Structure 1
């Protein structure tokens, strides 16, 4: 799908406020609410907009520990990558280059919860080693990138 300036402006506006009304979006980009609805539907159908989600404060829910978990496999990540993505504590899972094969970012209630859950990774037959880095302070997390609102 080729995106024009209006499509990019709509995506940028939805990144700013995913609950913005059609009328507010229309006023912001200068087209009718009906045209906004059609464009958003087209962006969703094309997979540009993959969904809508609530932004949650995990600390307020009792998940006080964030950890970066690095996994090395003995045979390559393809044997374990899908399984790793199914761990409920894993907020993000990345296949990476370098010495490690997979990096996970996880949220845990406390360090005991972290130890218990990360230890389960070692039961995966393809996992050779696991290294855990506990996050001391979150400087910035999961912030949307700024969308260039001018067509390239």
Structure 2
């Protein structure tokens, strides 16, 4: 099957991005004007094709007891492999790693911690893994939204 997304796929993705946990296939079907079984088949196909890679909760780390959320900008001596990124993700406190294509600063690492001592330990761990920390910043707040080109018009017209 082609990697391109049709209007139904985009509508399904848009609706899932709104609230995948509480949105049913019937809800999506009503919005994109197809049957619930079509929605289920489309979701299965999008998963099989790797378009949908998983479902993860959006966690309020502060409410979960991790008062500090830190963004590290790092330099790895060579372009990091997927295996290296998984190794970083396995370290205590690391919640995301973003590989960058160009420049000396080729990794963004997000970590959460309970204290400045905890964050210092995380930074030391990153350095022991071979990363040079160029900059670290405390994240105050992050606002997210679904990518609006994934079928908002299909869902709104459904």
The interval holding the TM-score normalised by the smaller chain is 0.7 to 0.9
Equivalences for residues 46-85 of structure 1 within 5 A: 46-73=49-76, 75-78=77-80, 80-85=84-89
1:99 to 84, 88, 104: 104
Higher helix proportion: 2
What is the alpha-carbon root mean square deviation over aligned residues? Answer: 2.2
* Residue 111 of structure 2 corresponds to residue 87 of structure 1: no
The number of equivalent residue pairs is 147
- CA change 1:76–1:134 in 2 (3 A) is same
2:92–2:122: 8 Å Cα contact kept in structure 1? no
Map 1:3-152 to 2 at 5 A: 3-19=5-21, 20-73=23-76, 75-78=77-80, 80-96=84-100, 97-124=102-129, 126-127=130-131, 129-135=132-138, 137-140=140-143, 142-149=144-151
Compute the TM-score of the two structures, normalised by the length of structure 1: 0.83
The two structures have a TM-score, normalised by structure 2, of 0.80
In structure 2, the CA distance between the partners of 1:46 and 1:81, relative to structure 1 (3 Å rule), is closer
Secondary structure in structure 2 of the residue aligned to 1:106: strand
